[in-house]
Amino acid sequence: MASAELPVLKPADYGTDQDVRWCPGCGDYSILAQMKKVMSTLNMSRENTVFVSGIGCSSRFPYYMNTYGMHSIHGRAPAFATGLKSARQDLTVFVITGDGDSLSIGGNHLMHVLRRNVNLNIILFNNRIYGLTKGQYSPTSEQGKVTKSTPMGSIDNPIHPLSVAISCEATFVARSIDVHTKHLQETLERAVGHKGVSFVEVYQNCNVFNDGAYKWATDKDSKSDTVLELEHGKPMIFGKDRDKGIRLNGMTPEVVELGKGISEDDLLFHDAKSTEPTLAYMLTRMSHPEFPEPIGVLRDLDAPCYDDAINYQVQHAKETRGEADLEKLFNSGDTWVVE
């Protein structure tokens, strides 16, 4: 991925000459900009990087990156990426997807790519709406949402992307926000550095069809009280004055105020390395407005990768059974000669 002998590329060197066709003000612009910065910071090779996407606004992403890329079909990007990474382990492969792409039509593939732990970086742009089809509710839209296809309000129970990721045993699970540029860069850098599947949910604003969906998390005045920045090994503290925390009460989390007999030691400490997924799952369930919503890395574990294993079997077969020999294969077992 990083290559010392190459000249250092600037963020702009990772962009193409194609006109970016997202709506002005779309959160995707920020994600694109942070991705270019991350690639530049990590000095990633353009020719050894592939962006694979599905269908939707976010999935136009590969066209704007001066790397290899595939804009595939709706929901299936994880499957393309699995084949590509298995065949070409030398490449760094990103999957760019949206909430409809990965959790509705592509829900099946997301589940399987996560549980297989293919060494990919999956970035899910979650704007809680269908943008490219002009404003229908998505699988992450809140219940009661009025859209073109739900004039009386959505009756679907929404899905939580990170809950899905944890229950599929994803080895790297993180969340960031489109306009928290620094946090987003750091999160993407860590995702790239993780060996195994990295799943990053990015809260992304669709200013045309679902404007302000994350206003509570981006407003200068409110964000410190509504967002919990996770740090491994640190207590879960939030609030403008860093005076609030998360404590476990039996099996349930609760918001407590520090002081008044409650110290940092009483709070829950974040452990991204815990192999036991229960606390990580609990974090994925903490939702605004009852709780501050966690951002950062929820889970970061080392585990064998699918692409390593599939290639190891090939190597192992060669070592134990010898290199391919068609002549020998064809003439093995029962044969007979006709003179």
Chain positions contacting another protein, by CB under 8 A: 16, 18, 46-50, 52, 55, 62-63, 65-73, 76, 78-88, 90-91, 108-109, 111-112, 310-311, 313-314, 316-318, 320-324, 326-327, 329-331, 333-339
The minimum distance between CB 250 and another protein, in angstroms, equals: 37
Q: Which residues contact 144 (CB under 8 A, 6 or more apart)?
A: 153, 154
- Give the nearer residue to another protein in terms of CB position, either 80 or 203: 80
CB 317, CB 329: distance < 8 Å: no
Q: Phi first, then psi: what are they for 198, rounded to 5°?
A: -115, 130
The minimum distance between CB 327 and another protein, in angstroms, equals: 5
- Give the nearer residue to another protein in terms of CB position, either 8 or 329: 329
DSSP character for 54? -
- Give the nearer residue to another protein in terms of CB position, either 68 or 216: 68
The minimum distance between CB 39 and another protein, in angstroms, equals: 12
List the structure tokens of 232: 């491994």
List the structure tokens of 76: 């299936």
- Give the nearer residue to another protein in terms of CB position, either 69 or 245: 69
The minimum distance between CB 236 and another protein, in angstroms, equals: 35
Among the listed residues 127, 299, 296, the one whose alpha carbon sits nearest the alpha carbon of residue 228 = 296
**Spatial separation of the C-alpha atoms in residues 112 and 105, rounded to whole Å:** 14
The minimum distance between CB 196 and another protein, in angstroms, equals: 17
The minimum distance between CB 68 and another protein, in angstroms, equals: 4
Among the listed residues 57, 59, 64, 76, the one whose alpha carbon sits nearest the alpha carbon of residue 14 = 64
**Spatial separation of the C-alpha atoms in residues 241 and 243, rounded to whole Å:** 5
Q: Phi first, then psi: what are they for 136, rounded to 5°?
A: -95, 160
- Give the nearer residue to another protein in terms of CB position, either 66 or 198: 66
Helix (H, G, I), strand (E, B) or coil at 247: strand
- Give the nearer residue to another protein in terms of CB position, either 252 or 335: 335
Among the listed residues 5, 45, 12, the one whose alpha carbon sits nearest the alpha carbon of residue 20 = 12
**Spatial separation of the C-alpha atoms in residues 327 and 339, rounded to whole Å:** 19
The minimum distance between CB 44 and another protein, in angstroms, equals: 12
The minimum distance between CB 102 and another protein, in angstroms, equals: 13
- Give the nearer residue to another protein in terms of CB position, either 117 or 210: 117
List the structure tokens of 283: 């974090």
Position 267, amino acid: L
List the structure tokens of 248: 């476990």
| DSSP H or E run through 252 | strand 252-257
CB 125, CB 140: distance < 8 Å: no
- Give the nearer residue to another protein in terms of CB position, either 248 or 310: 310
